[in-house]
Chain A
Amino acid sequence: MGDTTIDKPAPSIGFWQQSWRRFRRRKLSMCALGFIICLSTVAIFSPMIAGTKPIICKYKGHIYFPCMGYYNRNWENPVFQKDRFRRIYPRNLKRKDPDSWAIWPLVYQDPYRPVRDNEWEGMKGNPYGAEGRPSGKNWFGTYKTGFDIFASMVHGTRIALLVGFVSTGIAAFIGIFIGAVAGYVGGKTDIILSRIIEVVMCIPSLVLILTLLAVIERPTIWHMMVVLGLTGWTSMARLTRGEFLKLRETEFVAAARSLGAGRMRIMFRHILPNALAPILVPIAFGIASAILIEAGLSLLGFGAPPPNPSWGTVLNSGKETLQSGYWWQLVFPGIAIFLTVLAYNLIGEGIQESTDPRLADPKS
């Protein structure tokens, strides 16, 4: 008798797990997710894919990682500057220390300078102008100044994704906070906050962005991310406010309140997780539009200053040489921007459809 156990019902799966199951069934959205993961990998490992600095090298008895200099100039060991490498590693490593060895990036090209003759023994420098069409050495061709476009785009991936994530992160933070306070607290606070949301919404976004960027004397890519974040939060704030207005009347909030939970705790521990699904959708679309605006601003010449490789700046140089018909300066960055925006749109749509309870499959 002792071994009879009551069959426990299988635990029902949670909302997020269910949504993920439904998201996984959408082939296009999964492709898009895979594409973004690939792109993130490229972004993270960009100096190891295209660069002229060794990933690892042994030089005078020490191990160095010169490629870290691409992330931050200070992360490159100063010993190479002291020994007058002048950014040309292959020749100088062998000349100054015959016992040295190095592991090189996949493609020997640099986003910050054109490769010149004889950096490797017998290797020719980058062509420029009309000669710079795509070739085995310069996969995506070169600028009119001889900079390699493939290297610029690989390193530009870092900027594109960073702009998307950071600016949308800032926007989401502001939007969710303001929306939550307006929706939950209500009353006068709600009136004032809603007015602020409306004011920011009514100013055309490019007008506000251009003005804010002009206020900063020498805008860097980080300034741009902050400006995009400061201007892009309104739709999220409105959505969050709506969700909070709806949810604050529910039983679980009343229960939390009667247990003595504080305002902040109710807002961000109890309500927010339940309001998160609809807010995720504009976040995905927001990333897409941030990437678009960054590229557009770079195209107008308001973007990251020229040595910074960004997809928009490659496109801008293509725009300047458009009449010479250097198609490779337009086609590659254009397609890259398009595919990334498309991927984020597909992901956003996937989230929208898979988290919508009205479309839920009753069986799963």
Chain B
Amino acid sequence: MIHYVVRRVFIGLLTLLLITFVIYALIRHIPGSPLDADPSMMDPSKMPSKADVDRMLTVYGLDKPWYEAYVHWLKNTVQLDFGNSFSQKKPVADLIGARIGATLKLSITSLVLTYLLAIPLGLFSTVRSGKLDERVMSFLLYMLYSFPSFVAALFLQLLFAVKFGGSWLELPLMGDRSAHYDDLTNSQQAWDQLKHMILPVTCFTYGSLAYYCRFVKANMEEVIRQDYIRTARAKGLGPVRILVHHAFRNTLIPFVTLMGLTLPGLLSGAIILEQIFNWPGMGELFFFSIVSRDYPTIMTLTLMFSILTLLGQLLADIMYAFVDPRIRFN
């Protein structure tokens, strides 16, 4: 087991090295540099002098060819020094720290909601399989599954923020808190935050909810035909006990893999959705760092997402062995 994990971690490190190398090479070839992406630099009166530009290039490490700069970046990163953001003049680690909460707030809420709803719905549709209510529900879920989340986001904004504007159903258009947030009492602040979360969480949740439901149902259908289910039924067990203890527990293995694969999504946020809702999270940070050619931020974020992806895969494989004792690593 330990042997296996060590080998996987080693391969993972190699993969990380390759990924960061490729991304570093790519972003250094993006036309424009952080110096001319900032509009204030374009102002002729504030145009930095030649000496200033040279000094800034040296500070940013842009005077060296990209492969040398990559080695430099790698050395710093190994020592957990992620550098300073070009556009915001702050350490990248601080920037990410300031954003991570907003993203986690959305992703964890949506993940919990998804699991809470998907498992009962999936079990329900297994029991009612083929009946009218199940078919209607499956049809609706399939529709939801195909409904693009950014279209849903815009529709919901139009409906709740604009059409219902002024009525009691009104929900805020964007952002994670109101402009007058600081003047509110504690309970009002909580309500304000909650109100801002409703639309984004809905958009984050419904797609994965539909996917998970179908996933639970597909796995259950396979298990429910097994002999041991018939045995359990012949033993005279109640339907709930058969469904949950005998059938559902045996569908946990693919479920666990899926959980491992959702790990990177927890932190990376969704670039398009966060952009639409103007949500101050990681996706938006990434978008702005690309637009403003903020190399250190792009690199750190890419590194983080890749580590999480690899970690998620590793975790899924280990959990696999944990829930299914038949699997052994050697």
Contacts and interface: CB of A to CB of B under 8 A. Distances in A.
Nearest to B302: A207
Contact of A215 (B29, B157, B306): B29
Contact of B151 (A211, A217, A334): A334
Contacts of B264: 204
Interface in B156-186: 157-158, 161-163, 173
Given A202-B15, A300-B272, A214 B290 contact: yes
B146 A341 contact: yes
A330 B26 CA distance: 35
Interface stretch (A49-57, A267-275, A319-327): A319-327
A322 B158 contact: yes
A193 B272 CA distance: 31
A199 B19 contact: yes
Contact of B276 (A217, A319, A327): A319
A211 B272 contact: no
Contacts of A295: 148, 150
A295 B148 CA distance: 10
A338 B145 CA distance: 10
Contact residues on B (Cβ < 8 Å of other chain), bracket? 35 or more
B309 A323 contact: no
Interface in A101-129: none
B263 interface: no
Interface string A200-233: 0111101110111011010000000000000000
Contacts of B143: 342
Contact of A337 (B148, B158, B286): B148
B70 interface: no
A320 to B, nearest CB: 11
A323 B173 contact: yes
A288 B148 CA distance: 10
Contact of A325 (B155, B158, B287, B306): B158
B251 interface: no
Contact residues on A (Cβ < 8 Å of other chain), bracket? 35 or more
Given A195-B18, A214-B290, A325-B158, A337 B151 contact: yes
Contacts of A330: 151, 154-155, 158
Contacts of B124: none
Contact of A323 (B151, B162, B286): B162
B146 A202 contact: no
A215 B146 contact: no
A292 B14 CA distance: 32
Given A206-B271, A315-B151, A319-B154, A212 B31 contact: no
A204 B146 contact: no
A284 interface: no
Interface in A25-52: none
B255 interface: no
Contact of A318 (B147, B154, B301): B154
A341 B142 CA distance: 11
A-B interface, 10 closest residue pairs, ranked by CB to CB distance from nearest: A342-B146, A334-B151, A214-B30, A202-B309, A296-B272, A325-B162, A199-B18, A202-B306, A217-B31, A345-B146
Interface of B: 14-15, 18-19, 22-23, 26-27, 29-31, 142-143, 145-148, 150-151, 154-155, 157-158, 161-163, 173, 264, 268, 271-272, 275-276, 286-287, 290, 298, 301-302, 305-306, 309-310
